[in-house]
Each structure stands twice: as C-alpha cells, then as structure tokens.
Amino acid sequence: GAVVSQHPSWVICKSGTSVKIECRSLDFQATTMFWYRQFPKQSLMLMATSNEGSKATYEQGVEKDKFLINHASLTLSTLTVTSAHPEDSSFYICSARPYSNQPQHFGDGTRLSIL
C-alpha cells in the first residue's frame, strides 16, 4: 500500500526556535500534500494544501508566514514552524495523494513540544 513517511516523529525545542518537518511519499508521486494539526482530545484540522511547484493554499486563520510550506518535488513537502512558541505545541500530520478524489495517505505525525 501507499506509504507516507514523516520526520521527525517528535521534537522538543525552546521557544523562538524554528522547526522543520518533512513529509515524503515513498512509493508514489504526490501531486498534492496536506498538512494538519491536532490538539489533544480534538480532531484533525487542515492547515494548508500544498501542490507541487506552486504556493500552498492556507486555511482561514492559519498564518502563512508562521507556517512555511515547501513542496519542491513530487515526493517531498516540508512544513517549517517559524519562531515557535508554546501555543504551537501540537501533533502535526501530513498526508499525500496521487490524484484528486483518490484517498489520502497519512504520515505517522510529528509531536512538537515547545518549552
């Protein structure tokens, strides 16, 4: 089956640090990748949609200057949380799909803790 790898699995860092999370589709080319955030006891919330070679589309209320997304190839998208603060601590999850209306395949998530 389709495999999406997300790295790192968890990261703890000091307030003010920028953190980069990678999302790779290992056995298929992903024209579109998605980034979600999930707070404890809550459901996933879509942050942005990333299409290869173009700018990401951010959901309402998500700061594009804070959450930088790069989708430079058909198998890799990155999310950089710039100048992270404790309120950015969350579970970040990416997904990828080869074509529209095909299922999304999710990574195992990155748990980000900002001290």
Partner 1 sequence: DAKTTQPNSMESNEEEPVHLPCNHSTISGTDYIHWYRQLPSQGPEYVIHGLTSNVNNRMASLAIAEDRKSSTLILHRATLRDAAVYYCIRTSYGKLTFGQGTILTVHP
Binding site for partner 1 (CB under 8 A): 4, 6, 32, 34, 36, 43-46, 49, 91, 93-95, 97, 100-109, 111
Give, in order, the Cα–Cα distances in Å from 49 to each of 6, 13, 33, 71, 95.
16, 26, 6, 10, 10
Answer whether the bond into residue 98 is a cis peptide, omega within 30°. no
Q: Is 68 or 98 the residue whose CB approaches partner 1 more closely?
A: 98
In the complex, least distance from residue 77 CB atom to partner 1, rounded to whole angstroms: 14
For partner 1, which is the closer residue by CB, 3 or 83? Answer: 3
Distance in Å, CB of 1 to partner 1, minimum: 8
Closest CB 94 distance from partner 1, rounded Å: 8
Choose between 4 and 84: whose C-beta lies nearer to partner 1: 4
Question: Given the structure tokens 């942005």, which residue do they identify?
Answer: 48
